[in-house]
Amino acid sequence: MEQTKKSARVVISGGGTGGHLFPAMAIADALKKIDPATEILFVGALGKIEMERVPAAGYEIIGLDIRGLQRSLSFENLKFPIRLIKSLRKSFNIVKNFKPDVAVGVGGYASGPLLYAASLKGVPTVIQEQNSYPGVTNKLLAKRAAKICVAYENMDRFFPADKLMLTGNPVRKDILAIEGKKEEAASFFGLSPEKKTIFLTGGSLGARTLNESILEHLHEFKDQSIQLIWQCGKFYYNSLKQQFNEAEYPNVKLMEFVSRVDLAYALADIIVARAGASTISELCLVKKPAILVPSPNVAEDHQTKNAMALVNKQAAILVKDAVAKTELVPVAMRLIANEEKKQKLANNIAELGLKDSAVVIANEILKLIQ
């Protein structure tokens, strides 16, 4: 008599930011697509983005009371050891009760305790490292991992070479379909399909430096034929709206958040952005010239390292945060006028794009179970 095939059980841990959470959810979706019977449990950090977004996507999540160490002297740092011990205990209970076949860590505070507990219980672990320079947690977890999925070459500087697999970062499928959408995009933003367009994005929260850089040079968009789609973020939208008269700047579309990123990418001739791992993965796949302004406020300055991985291959231009207020807009204006440079950057960034990353990672997870 044939035995009924047991459905795979996978626990996915991490989050804290969209950059960690989106790959986690994309991997979960890919696992479900390959085998709808796969049972998936998320483990996140209480109070972080994943605690809302994961249930909204239809997955179960358990929260750990874990936070990172603050860079400055802080009372919160004194609580860290207690939080860590509590999170480890809870993680051991999760592993004991859920009985996962594989534990996946995508970075973020919750991935450390959960993957450590899983590995001690003999559960194979997979790390998905989005950045070109890994954080401390993933470096520590790598020793026990069965597989490490990375988005950049030469990661054997940080991880055991025999465990590495170059998969790229999972990106949102809906934003990659940009072909033939220029007219629709122009209509959506109320801009012209004929004029050259810059898309500037500081992410959903916004980036102060990018916004201040535009404000400093706003006059340059007044009479020029250059258009700007300006995603300023929810923290900055209301104050920026008061600082300039939209009627005076028909070429500038100020938006708190761009819901149709595919249309922004479709209309853009060049893109200005921070250098988060997910953003860079998207830029490689939409094949557009990019100017990257790495955030200085991230652990181990990993955004600069992400950006340099492209700059060293002449696949992007880097403007340092410290000089962006004076240099960013002039650099963007020179680039948008230089057809040869734009084509070279587009060709080079296109060579770095890795497609179907979520499916590739999901298949690696299932191979460990089989």
In this prediction, residue 4 carries a pLDDT of 52
For residue 12, report the phi and psi dihedrals to the nearest 5 degrees.
-120, 125
Asked if the model's pLDDT at residue 25 lies above 80, the reply is yes
Assess whether 362 and 330 both reside in one domain: no
Asked if the model's pLDDT at residue 105 lies above 70, the reply is yes
pLDDT band of 74, cuts 50, 70, 90: low
For residue 128, report the phi and psi dihedrals to the nearest 5 degrees.
-110, 105
The number of folded domains in the chain is: 2
Asked if the model's pLDDT at residue 39 lies above 70, the reply is yes
Assess whether 191 and 94 both reside in one domain: no
The verdict on residue 1 lying in a domain is no
Assess whether 320 and 338 both reside in one domain: yes
Assess whether 162 and 193 both reside in one domain: no
Q: Is 197 annotated as a binding residue?
A: no
The verdict on residue 101 lying in a domain is yes
Assess whether 69 and 22 both reside in one domain: yes
Which residue range forms the structural domain that includes residue 240? 174-350
Q: Is 19 annotated as a binding residue?
A: yes
Which residue's entry shows tokens 């953003």? Answer: 279
CA-based torsion, 94, 95, 96, 99: positive or negative: positive
Assess whether 69 and 190 both reside in one domain: no
Q: Is 67 annotated as a binding residue?
A: no
pLDDT band of 128, cuts 50, 70, 90: very high
Report the 3 state secondary structure along 232-248: CCCCCHHHHHHHCCHHH
Asked if the model's pLDDT at residue 2 lies above 50, the reply is no
Q: What predicted TM-score, i.e. pTM, was given to this entire model? A: 0.85
Asked if the model's pLDDT at residue 122 lies above 60, the reply is yes
Assess whether 332 and 246 both reside in one domain: yes
CA-based torsion, 213, 265, 150, 68: positive or negative: positive
Summarize pLDDT for 272-326 with one digit per residue, the tens. Answer: 999 999 899 999 999 999 999 999 988 778 899 999 999 999 999 999 999 999 9
Tokens of 278: 């997910």
Q: Is 18 annotated as a binding residue?
A: yes
Assess whether 337 and 324 both reside in one domain: yes
Summarize pLDDT for 43-71 with one digit per residue, the tens. Answer: 999 998 899 999 999 999 999 998 765 55
Asked if the model's pLDDT at residue 357 lies above 60, the reply is yes
pLDDT band of 235, cuts 50, 70, 90: confident
Q: Which range among 111-125, 154-168, 171-185, 342-356 shows the weakest confidence by mean pLDDT?
A: 171-185
Assess whether 251 and 106 both reside in one domain: no
Assess whether 179 and 116 both reside in one domain: no
First and final C-alpha spacing in the chain:
21
Assess whether 270 and 360 both reside in one domain: no
The verdict on residue 19 lying in a domain is yes
What percent of the chain is modeled with pLDDT above 70? 95
Burial of 334 (0-12, 13-18, 19+ CB in 10 A): exposed
The verdict on residue 81 lying in a domain is yes
pLDDT band of 72, cuts 50, 70, 90: low
The verdict on residue 298 lying in a domain is yes
The verdict on residue 159 lying in a domain is yes
Which residue's entry shows tokens 């258009």? Answer: 227
Q: What's the whole-number mean pLDDT along residues 27-39?
A: 96
Summarize pLDDT for 156-199 with one digit per residue, the tens. Answer: 999 999 999 999 999 877 788 899 999 999 999 999 999 999 99
The verdict on residue 4 lying in a domain is no
Burial of 231 (0-12, 13-18, 19+ CB in 10 A): buried
Q: What's the whole-number mean pLDDT along residues 244-257?
A: 91
Which residue's entry shows tokens 């962006």? Answer: 324
Asked if the model's pLDDT at residue 1 lies above 50, the reply is no
Assess whether 149 and 222 both reside in one domain: no
The verdict on residue 2 lying in a domain is no
Tokens of 215: 């404000």
The CATH number of whichever domain residue 130 belongs to comes to 3.40.50.2000
In this prediction, residue 172 carries a pLDDT of 78
